[in-house]
Structure 1
């Protein structure tokens, strides 16, 4: 059964029936001209938005299922909230869908959205559904809250801070290449690409310590580190030998004769956090979340990223994924 068989309002009713809303802070949810929700006293609101386009961000049935598309569309936004130190609360979803799309595919996409929302306590409180002539377009706006004055900013890095990252880097970019090549195996790389895990807990702990800054690694660490360096008017010195990479990534690179650091620097879509903290604060944070690795330091400078590999230093330009 295709969307054209049930019509706009039919597919909207099916979507609405699948979205459970936690009632605690929602006054008016889906079904009116607008949603109404309560905010928490003493907290500031954070809003983020992200768009995924079929054929540009995903190739259906080749690099993603519709469930994975829905999951990732929301998860990417929650990662931005994590980088701000915010608690995710609400989401609004706008989709442009081709009438030839199967109803089961649309519902699978919304199931993916709901699965990640359920994990992090996020309500989908509204949105819009329109017709697209060809490719599907999914836009998600996510809202969150952070204690007043505690939002993590890219401009917060200070000389003497440690530069660190969560978990391993490069897996998602390699996972995309695994899928595009049709190679069997490498399930952990494929999952990293299709089902990223937003680092909400880490963002909240960083905000609680009220120091340093953070950025989510959506476009490759080269781009994200440069954003921090420029916003903070400082240099970030990164050490190649300190970058955490998975055994699966090393195996894939050895098999395909690829450079591990290509994926680390430019791969993108890891949705881990790169952040800076004073050394004593970093030690306290790592006691709470062990899977953190120091990869460099912040020093006085002019907003550059200095890459040290095999004893040689070079300047890393802000290359990575770009849309144009």
Structure 2
């Protein structure tokens, strides 16, 4: 059935079930003018918003509707992870053309709900409106963190080590294989279509005492520059230490590209990059999914890298930029 035939309120009613996964934090969910949720004593609130536009952030050519919802939730959860926080509630708004099949919308919601269920996040409200164009999905997420413990971009200090979680360039590899219709990239395709937020690692890193953190949504180069500028420090990394998946090397060879660029410029991995006191190096490495790739030094807020050829190059804040000409 098309959305215009079902109607806004009937559609909302059809998806409002199975939305509360932590009832202890909710007083009133979907069904009133506002939702009401509880705030944990001794905690501060975190809030972030992400928007995904059809044709800009996702394409049904490369992912199923379920994947769209899954990835949209990951993007929001990742912002909470980057602060070392705990996700609690979300509100979701969608602008969709009236002719769209409601089964597509239901599948997107299913992807959102399954991520919410996995991370015990409540879907407590939102809005649905008609639009004469591509779909637009917006989620606002609310999280919390022990008072005074939020890990900011501005906390990096000279002498810190720089680390990342898991593989970098993973999602860009998957998208590249889909774009060129190349077979043999099963893991990184999943990384593009259904990336996972690093909630548990974010909390662990915060509890260990890392100084700064950022999630990798726009490429490692861009995220490192954000930390350097916010903290007013210089960062230098070793490109040979950046953890790349074997499928990234395979795709780079097939397309005659530089594999490191998938990590530096690709984005949407939703992994974490952080800086931490050097004395935490052993504890960080013992986590098993952390790779130390560089250090923080005094100087102008720039990011440099040492290449495989032992050359030093300046890494500009390049990555995905919506307003770049």
TM-score by length of 1: 0.97
Match of 2:241 in 1: 242
SS at match of 1:24: helix
Match of 1:297 in 2: 295
Does 2:10 match 1:10?
yes
Match of 1:275 in 2: 274
CA distance in 2 between partners of 1:118 and 1:283 (Å): 34
Pairs aligned (count) = 322
SS at match of 1:92: strand
Aligned-pair CA distance for 1:21: 4.1
SS at match of 2:182: coil
Structure 2: tracts of 5 or more residues without a match? none
Match of 2:313 in 1: 314
CA distance in 1 between partners of 2:312 and 2:163 (Å): 19
Match of 2:93 in 1: 94
SS at match of 1:215: strand
CA distance in 2 between partners of 1:106 and 1:96 (Å): 11
Structure 1: tracts of 5 or more residues without a match? none
Match of 2:231 in 1: 232
Does 2:108 match 1:109?
yes
CA distance in 2 between partners of 1:135 and 1:211 (Å): 41
Match of 1:194 in 2: 193
- Are 2:21 and 2:120, in contact at CA under 8 Å, matched by a contact in 1? no
Match of 1:139 in 2: 138
List, as ranges, runs of 4+ consecutive aligned residues in structure 1 with deviation greater than 6 Å. Answer: none
TM-score by length of 2: 0.97
Aligned-pair CA distance for 1:238: 0.6
CA distance in 2 between partners of 1:159 and 1:295 (Å): 15
CA distance in 1 between partners of 2:281 and 2:198 (Å): 16
- Are 2:305 and 2:312, in contact at CA under 8 Å, matched by a contact in 1? yes
Listed one character per residue, the Cα deviations across residues 196-231 of structure 1 (whole Å, up to 9, x for unaligned) are 111111111122133311000000000000000111
Match of 2:27 in 1: 27
Give RMSD over aligned pairs: 1.1
CA distance in 2 between partners of 1:313 and 1:274 (Å): 21
Match of 2:58 in 1: 58
Match of 1:159 in 2: 158
CA distance in 1 between partners of 2:18 and 2:135 (Å): 20
The more displaced of 35-44 and 16-25 is: 16-25
CA distance in 1 between partners of 2:306 and 2:258 (Å): 16
The more displaced of 251-260 and 46-55 is: 251-260
Aligned-pair CA distance for 1:18: 4.3
